[in-house]
Amino acid sequence: MNGETNGTNGTNGVHKPKYIEGALVPAVHRYGDNPVTIRLSDEELNSDKTNWDTIQEVLKYYHRDGLVVLENAIPEHMIDILYNKIVEDNDRYLNQPHMTWNQGAGPKNVSQVPPLKPEYLYREVYANSHMIRILENLLGPRPEFRFLNSNVACPGGSGRQAVHSDVHHDFPTQPFGVVMNTYLQDSSAANGVTEIWCGTHNAYPKTTDSVHDQQLHAETGWIKKEYIQKQAKIKPPVQPEIKKGSIVFRDLRLWHAGMPNTSSHHRIMLAIDYFAEWYQCPMALKLPSSIRKDVEEKWEISTKGIEWVEGEMDCLEQPFFLNMTQDPSKYIVQTEKGFEDWRARETGRWDFDKGKVGEKNYWTAEE
């Protein structure tokens, strides 16, 4: 069976477990603290089985930080195939009439659907066994796959994005959805790795403020300067180094920002979103029906959030569609006029993602 958890740490005589005051000391390869990276052993990668020690450690830091990097999680040849295909598609995508830069043209950051031909839809990437085992323990049984995209930071970006969280409705204070940002190349500040703000996934309950007090305006998840400055004193933002083939588990509530890619190669991360079953997310993900049987029989995930489409799907013709709220009417859809949110539908005002990013939207050192 795929992804069965290997919980026998120490009982096979190879490794003797260590305890301190009754607590197991997880035997994992872990490094860094902002963020924490946990590296799977080659044995875990090759066997598709996640040790319980690994799961315990990922959960510990996920709940603390709202973000954990899981390294050595995906076979390298699949990552290379996806990287090359998405770069090849990028040229054509930038000329599509509905193409819209995320937060304006400055960062040259675009959401581009990865290839949807069956031969590119790897279980090891989209329903990775380690990822699913971790999600089942984070979100509860049968996590639901409901969104698939990629963020391409094109070479030559100059500006940066505003510090924001991707959800900005009245969201729950417990984990309800996770985006798995899967890195298709080694990444760092030099090629525009995301700026992240560990610990902001639950910044709200720590204060008496509501989610909305921290947001600049209702149309976006942009964070007010005063909260940015305050939070940086608790834990500063960082652009971490992330190895190719890593899966970054990021709580949907976490603050982050896209950064310019000043290298000469595209920086690509997949965005694979799963939601807790209890959350009843109304968003659906369209996938080709030709992989349905395989997904139902082998992927070991809930397919409740998948809408099967007959025939070939051109990944570059799929308009961006997003609804991470619990209300079916609150969706955002990409049109030739830009991103249409529920406010645009009600008022005719197209404000979503239109703000100008300036110093007030990111952290600046204080005297």
Ligand X SMILES: O=C(O)CCC(=O)C(=O)O
The residue type at 194: T
Site for ligand X in 121-150 (CB under 6 A): none
Q: What is the H or E stretch that residue 122 is in?
A: none
Interacting partner of 150 out of Fe ion, ligand X, none (Cβ under 5 to 8 A depending on kind):
none
Q: Is 345 helix (H, G, I), strand (E, B) or coil?
A: helix
175 binds ligand X, rule: CB under 6 A = no
Q: What is d(CA 109, CA 162) in angstroms, rounded to the nearest whole number?
A: 12
* Min separation Cβ 109 and Fe ion, Å: 9
194 binds ligand X, rule: CB under 6 A = yes
82 Cβ contact partners less than 8 Å away, ≥ 6 residues apart? 114, 115, 120, 122, 125, 184, 268, 270
> To 10 degrees, the CA torsion angle through 294, 299, 302, 308?
-30
Site for ligand X in 231-290 (CB under 6 A): 256, 258
Q: Which string of x and - marks every residue 146-165 that binds ligand X (by CB under 6 A)?
A: -----x-x-------x----
Sign of the Cα torsion 341, 227, 256, 160 reads: positive
Interacting partner of 162 out of Fe ion, ligand X, none (Cβ under 5 to 8 A depending on kind):
none
* Min separation Cβ 179 and ligand X, Å: 9
* Min separation Cβ 43 and Fe ion, Å: 34
Number of residues that bind ligand X (CB under 6 A): 9
Interacting partner of 137 out of ligand X, Fe ion, none (Cβ under 5 to 8 A depending on kind):
none
Interacting partner of 153 out of Fe ion, ligand X, none (Cβ under 5 to 8 A depending on kind):
ligand X
Applying CB under 6 A, among 50, 54, 102, 129 the residue interacting with ligand X is 102
Contact indicator for 82, 125 with CB cutoff of 8 Å = yes
Residue with smaller CB distance to Fe ion, 51 or 103: 103
Applying CB under 5 A, among 53, 57, 136, 166 the residue interacting with Fe ion is 166
* Min separation Cβ 134 and Fe ion, Å: 21
Give the β-pairing of 67-71 and 36-39: parallel
Interacting partner of 322 out of Fe ion, ligand X, none (Cβ under 5 to 8 A depending on kind):
none
65 Cβ contact partners less than 8 Å away, ≥ 6 residues apart? 34, 35, 36, 198, 199, 201
Residue with smaller CB distance to ligand X, 54 or 161: 161
User: Cis peptide leading into 35, omega within 30 of 0?
Assistant: yes
Give the β-pairing of 247-251 and 177-183: antiparallel
353 binds ligand X, rule: CB under 6 A = no
Q: What is d(CA 136, CA 48) in angstroms, rounded to the nearest whole number?
A: 15
Residue ranges that bind ligand X, judged by CB under 6 A: 102, 109, 151, 153, 161, 166, 194, 256, 258
Binding site for Fe ion (CB under 5 A): 166
